Each structure stands twice: as C-alpha cells, then as structure tokens.
Chains A and B, each alone.
Chain A
Amino acid sequence: MADFKEISPNASAGAKLTNWFENRLPTAFDMYKVHMSEYYAPKNFNFWYIFGSLAMLVLVIQIVTGIFLVMHYKPDAALAFGSVEYIMRDVPWGWLIRYMHSTGASAFFVVVYLHMFRGLLYGSYRKPRELVWLFGCAIFLALMAEAFMGYLLPWGQMSYWGAQVIVNLFAAVPFVGPDLALLIRGDYVVGDATLNRFFSFHVIAVPLVLLGLVVAHLMALHDVGSNNPDGIEIKATKGPTGIPLDGIPFHPYYTVHDIFAVCMFLVVFSAVIFFAPEFGGYFLEYNNFIPADPLKTPLHIAPVWYFTPFYSMLRAITDEMLLVLIACVAGGAILGVTKFKLPAIVKLVIVGAAAAVIAMMLSIDAKFWGVVAMGGAVVILFFLPWLDNCAVKSIRYRPQWHKYLYAVFVVNFVILAYLGTQPPSAVGERVSQVGTLFYFGFFLLMPWWSRLGESKPVPTRVNYVAH
C-alpha cells in the first residue's frame, strides 16, 4: 500500500481534491500512469496505427446504441420486425440510434480488418507479442459471433435465411451434427426459440466476453509495448532515465493523434449514417426489409459483406475441390517424408496421419469440409506467430517480392469477398477455389516462403520525420 501523502493547506482546491483521491484510490493513478501518461509508444506510428483506437470507439458506440435499442426492441418472432420499424418511425431519434448500430457493425469490421492487416504488415504478432495477437484473434472470433447473432434480430428475410443456412452447416458435422444444430436453434427450424437465445447471446454473453478480451488484449500490449512500422524493439535503446529513446508518452501525444483520427473517422461514419445508411444494400440488405417468412426461401441468400470471404471458401469446397485437397495432403506428406531428415517413427506418423485425413475426406460429405475450410480460415490466423520465419518483422525490410505477395493476398481476399456476395456461378466457383487454395497456401507455406529472399538491414533507431 502506498504511503498517505499529506498536502500543504495552502494548495489549490484542485490539488487537494486530487490528493484526496490519490490517498484513497492509488490504483487508478497507477493505471493512468502505466497505460497513459507513462506508457511509452514508439513515436513513428503511421496511418495504420489508428485502427486500434477506432475499434475501441466503435465498440463503445455499439454498446451505447445497443442499450437504447434494447429499450424498444422485442425479441419475439411475431413482434421483432415490427419493433424495429417502431424504432425507425415512432421512437424519437430511433432511426439515428438504429443506423448508428447497423453502420457501426460494418464499421467495426472495416476497422478490425485494417487493424489486423496492420499487424500482418509490420509483424506485430511476432515475439514477444504472440499473446497480443492471440487475444486479438479471439476478439475477431467473438466479433463474428456477435455480428452473426445480432443480424438475426431484425427478423427480416435475410436475417432468417442467413441464420438458417449457417446453423444448418453445423448439421454437417459427422455424428453429432444434427443434434448440435438442434441445440443451437432450440427448434427444428430457426424460430422464436432461436431468436430469444441469439438475443441473449448478442446483448449479454458475447459482449461480456468481448470486453474481457479487449482488456486482456490491451494489458498484453501495454506489458510488452507496441510494435512500430520499422519492427524495431524501442525498449532495446533506452536513455539514461530508462525511457526508450524512440518512445513518447501515449498521453498527450497519441491521445491528440487519436482525437484527430476519431474526427476524420466520424466524418466518414456520419456520411454513411446520414446519406447512405443502406450503403447500396451492403450494410442493410434490401431483402431484410421483408419480414421473415419460413415458407418463402429467397432466390439468393448472401451473408453480410464482412462474412463473404469466408462464405466463398465454404462454397468453394465441392466434391471436385476435395480431390484437389486430397492431392495437396498426399503431396505434402510425400514431401515431408522424402525431403526432410526425420526419424522413421515421425515419418510413419506423417504417413499415417495423411492416410487418415484422406480417408476422412473420402468418406465425409464435401459440405462438412466446406465448414472446416470456413472455420479453418479464421483459426489459421491464431498460428501466424509461429508460421512466420522471416528474419525481420516489418514489411519495410522484407524482400521486395514479399510486398507483391501481400498485395496479391489482399486482392485475393477482396475477390473472395466479392464472390461471396454473388449468386453461385461456374466462373465464380473456379475463381473462389483458386482463391481458397491461395489463402491457405499463403499461411501453410509461410514457414517456407518467409525464409526465402534477402531481407534488408534493419536500423537500430526508428525512422521518424518531424511533423
């Protein structure tokens, strides 16, 4: 416990008040120092570093608008659609709250995708920040669950059939599938029971998990310190006071930085809310203005844009594609056994495992492997810290062709996202199959390709140009 600090009776009222609190809740003051005024962040942060703060802002927007929506929303299959229209029409400023929440959902994914890409660019997931990355991936997963369950609540056609399609995927799991799907739905079809449990998860369970993970993410980050665009450990070069020479107190320097970024973000965010809340059918799908009808399946069921890259990968796994994947597994096993000097027992295990996987692939429906691909595409991100073997962290000092590879990765992801919004087609299927192979190849072959090429020398101090 900290010692009680006396203060001169001549001190100002403000100083006395501060002293009163400091003696009674010193932890708050310590936290302020650790996380704000004496948290030394690298001074060379660029544009890519604003999305973490923006994600926090959007989280707060979602929680606050969500609280107000729940005051008027009715989680009842017969009333849900009407209660949303009630919010849009009869609740004073309800339309604004609702648009903030619906635009916020998409904005959340925009900033989170950019935030994750920043980590990829500058190697922010690498030692000693593995836990920061793992908590971040868990946040992404929780966010996907949150968005998926929230999307059911307006009880429109897309809400209903989107949920129907995704929950039915779980039924493809061998043995326990049908029971699992039943457990999730609480009924044999998506219905009132589903709506109620999704509501409960959406407003209580998942937000609690999200908040806990955000705290863990930030604690882990502030313990090891932020990475930066040069991928240099600023703690390696400290001044005589023990403060990193390239570090700068988070408050006030990055708080004013973030205020600026927040203002710019809010301009864009508000422009969408006030002038294009449907965003051409991408943020609010047109079909969702039709009340859910269990008897009328829409011609084309597409998830909201932020799920579409993964949805594309799901659709890419057909019986044909499964043969390609079997060839990949077999090829990988043969390569592993012949190329590397491994003990005989390990080789045997590799061959055995590959044979088992291939046997499973031949015996279980392609639909299930589509689900595996979709889930795997997210889960594989968790392993990133241990897949990357490049000598340097930041893209700035990696071999030139790495930049091209990253560019292709981004374009590939965008193409997959686009195809996921479109009705199935022969050309689209082929393109998404190639895209899926590239996506997984990028990560699974990373231990190999990230080692190749000549990386540039990394300086000892960060590159910083004064404003």
Chain B
Amino acid sequence: MKKIFLTLLAAMGFVVGAQANTGGFPWDKAPDRTSDMAALQNGAKLFVNYCLNCHSAAFMRFNRLKDIGLTEQQIKDNLLFTTEKVGETMKSAIDPRQAKEWFGANPPDLTVLARSRSAQGQGTGADYLYTYMRTFYVDDTKATGWNNLAFPNIAMPHVLWELQGKRSPVYETATEHGQQVQVFKGWEQLTPGTLTPQEYDHAMGDLVSYLQWMSEPAVNTRVRVGMGVIAFLLLMTFFAWRLNAAFWKDVK
C-alpha cells in the first residue's frame, strides 16, 4: 500500500515538475526588518518623502506609525506633508488625472501592494519590491528617461535616482544552445549617488520592510499573540488527552 502511494506521489511530482516554468529576471531576497523599529522608521521617512508624492496609501493612517515607535508629535513634525491631522489616511499630493497624463498610468495605491505582489515560485512581495527598486537604469528611449531591468517598460521613473546615481546595465555575449545571447553581467555606475551602493541597498531594505509592514500593521501583534495562543492550546491538548484517557480506560 505504502509503496503504491510513494510511486503515485512520485508520478505527481513528475506532473508538477513538467508544469514548473520560471522566466524573467530572478528576484533578490529582501531582508526582513518588519520587527526592527529603527529600520521601519527610516523606511517610513523614505516612504513619506519620496513615494507619497505620487502614490497614496489610502487605507493607512498616519497615527498608525505609533506602532513603529514614533510619537504623535514626531509624526506631526516630520511626516505630515499632505494633511493636517494624524488620524488621516496617507493620500498623495498628486492629482490622479494629472498622474495618468504624465505616466500613462495611475500610480497604484501602496497600502497593501507588498501583499499583492507575492508570486508562487518567485518570491514575496517584499522580494519583488526590493528587486524592483534596485534595477532602474538610464534609458533615453523612454519618455521618463528611465527603464527597469527586472520589470521592463514599467511606467514609473527612478524617483530615488539622486540616492542611487545613474546606472546602466552591462551585457556579455554568451552562447546558449548554440545561439549568441546577451546575458546581464552587472551594473556600470554612470554618475555617483548621494549613497554608496551598499548604503542604497540597505535603505531599500528599510523601505521595503516598511511597505511590507504597512501592508499588514498587525503582523507583529499577530505573531506575538500566536505564540501565546499555541502554547495555551498545547497545554489544553495535554489535559484533553489525559481526560480522554481517563474516561476510556475502562472501556473494554
């Protein structure tokens, strides 16, 4: 019986294997700093200063930032640009109609974007964003002057170019299956940014962690409560097991 099951499972694996197909630029693994308050605060700063100019986070309230260790006064003093009240949600400064004219597409709302971009077999939404924010390059053929290596022809320009500087991808000619193909080899820094490449990657890690946290602000509470709940249930299970055994011991 077991053998049959194993054989069938192997057959299933074959079917799954035949289906698997990956393509496109592989996603980099984003660092997970969703419980690192300093990183989240830095991410929030970057988010409010850069992203919020065009994107909204229409379901995220400014005062929720208290969850990542900021006081209401700090939020008011440093992060409120588009609104007066800390209880407000994060609305962008841009008029959606103008945005559509400028970029050809409305910048999507970022509240739960990190959750929506996960893809089975490719990575989490954080991985997507971390890769995306680090693969912009100068492309004069585009209206915005920017293109993205991992996600070609995307409408968004490189908003953080001052931090990263201008870059251009370097290709290498390789032979694959007897054909000459261009393979991405690395980056060429055209002009330096205000951050070193290491600092930029680190900042993007913070920003992406913030976006991930913002997509589910309850995440840290969830995990913490979960530990307690599971511990309690395991204890309950133990007693329920003994109770069951006590009742059934006389059943012959």
Contacts and interface: CB of A to CB of B under 8 A. Distances in A.
B230 A267 contact: yes
Interface in B198-252: 215-218, 222-223, 225-227, 229-230, 233-234, 236-237, 240-241, 243-245, 247-249, 251-252
B125 A286 contact: yes
Nearest to A90: B61
A42 B145 CA distance: 76
22 contacts: A88-B216, A89-B61, A89-B217, A90-B61, A95-B218, A256-B247, A259-B240, A260-B243, A260-B244, A263-B236, A263-B237, A266-B236, A271-B230, A274-B223, A274-B227, A274-B230, A277-B222, A281-B118, A289-B112, A289-B113, A466-B249, A467-B245
Nearest to A404: B4
A259 B240 CA distance: 6
Given A267-B234, A418-B16, A466-B251, A273 B120 contact: no
Interface of A: 43, 82, 85-86, 88-90, 95-96, 99, 248, 252-253, 256-257, 259-260, 262-264, 266-267, 270-271, 273-275, 277-278, 280-281, 286-291, 403-404, 407-408, 411, 414-415, 418-419, 422, 425, 427-428, 431, 464, 466-467
B251 A253 contact: yes
Given A263-B237, A275-B223, A287-B116, 5 more contacts: A96-B225, A266-B233, A271-B226, A411-B12, A415-B15
Contacts of A267: 230, 233-234, 237
B241 A278 contact: no
Contacts of A88: 216, 218
Given A256-B243, A270-B226, A274-B230, A467 B218 contact: no
Given A256-B247, A278-B115, A418-B15, A408 B226 contact: no
A418 B17 CA distance: 12
Question: Chain A interface mostly helix, strand, loop or mixed?
Answer: helix
A277 B222 CA distance: 10
Contacts of B225: 96, 274
Contacts of A278: 115, 118
Contacts of B223: 274-275
A327 B116 CA distance: 45
A287 B113 CA distance: 10
A404 B3 CA distance: 10
Contacts of B195: none
A274 B222 contact: yes
Contact of A259 (B216, B217, B243): B243
Contacts of B243: 256, 259-260
B1 A89 contact: no
Contacts of A260: 237, 240-241, 243-244
Contacts of A43: 251
Interface string B4-18: 110011011001101
Nearest to A281: B120
Contact of A467 (B11, B18, B108, B248): B248
Contacts of A431: 15
Given A275-B223, A275-B226, A407 B59 contact: no
A91 to B, nearest CB: 10
Chain A to chain B: the 4 pairs with minimum beta-carbon distance, closest first: A274-B226, A289-B116, A85-B59, A263-B237
Contacts of B120: 280-281
Contact of A427 (B8, B18, B109, B236): B18
A404 B4 CA distance: 7
Nearest to B246: A256
Given A253-B248, A425-B19, A407 B4 contact: yes
A467 B251 contact: yes
A286 B118 contact: yes
A418 B251 CA distance: 43
B235 to A, nearest CB: 9
A422 B16 CA distance: 10
Contacts of A86: 59
Nearest to B241: A260
A89 B90 CA distance: 14
A275 B229 CA distance: 11
Contacts of B247: 252-253, 256
Interface string B81-125: 000000000000000000000000000110111011111100001
Contacts of B227: 274
B248 A289 contact: no
A286 B59 contact: no
Given A256-B244, A260-B237, A263-B237, A85 B230 contact: no
Contacts of B125: 286
B217 A82 contact: no
A278 B61 CA distance: 23
Contacts of A288: 116
A85 B1 contact: no
B64 interface: yes
B5 A407 contact: yes
Contacts of A280: 120
Contacts of B15: 415, 418-419, 427-428, 431
Contacts of A95: 216, 218, 222
Interface in B3-60: 4-5, 8-9, 11-12, 15-16, 18-19, 58-60
Contacts of B229: 270, 274
B19 A89 contact: no
Contacts of A82: 58-59
A464 B252 CA distance: 8
Contacts of A263: 233, 236-237, 240-241
Nearest to A426: B18
A267 B229 CA distance: 8
A250 B15 CA distance: 45
Contacts of B222: 95-96, 99, 274, 277
